Copies of this chain bind each other. A is one copy, B any other.
Amino acid sequence: MSQLKKASLDEKFSLIHEHWRPKVVAELNVQELKLVKFAGVFPWHHHEHEDELFLVWRGEMRIEFRDKSITLRGEFCMVPRGVEHRTIAEAEAEGLVFEPTQTRNTGNIVDEAFTAPNGVSI
């Protein structure tokens, strides 16, 4: 049972030195818990088949939809599949993302600057 171990969110976040590139910290039931540092403006996109949960752990992050905007601070929001959105952080924020394994961070688009590799664990 040596695979049973715990991890600290603070410690894991301290290992992340880039923005918008999710790091996998747990995999379960073909889903992943990822940690992300947000800063700036992420491109508009949607996920065809994946619902996505954002929980802002530190700082403030805004999710913009085409018809509304939701600001998260110690709060969470589930973005259903198919719903176009973008994320914005005026100052660096830290968040948890829960979504299926192999979800591309930019969903239906590929962006040279923002599309991140999948399956990068810390």
Measuring CB to CB, which residues of chain A are less than 8 angstroms from any residue of chain B?
A: 1, 3-10, 25-29, 31, 33, 50-53, 55, 65-68, 70-72, 74-80, 83, 98-100
Contact = CB atoms under 8 A, between A and B. Distances in A.
Contacts of A100: 29
A26 B78 contact: yes
A69 to B, nearest CB: 10
Report how many copies the assembly holds: 2
A83 B4 CA distance: 10
A90 B44 CA distance: 46
A55 B8 CA distance: 9
A67 B1 contact: yes
Contact of A72 (B6, B31, B77, B78): B6
A122 B88 CA distance: 28
A74 B27 CA distance: 19
Given A4-B65, A4-B80, A6-B76, 11 more contacts: A4-B70, A4-B83, A8-B75, A28-B51, A28-B52, A28-B53, A29-B31, A29-B50, A29-B51, A29-B100, A33-B53
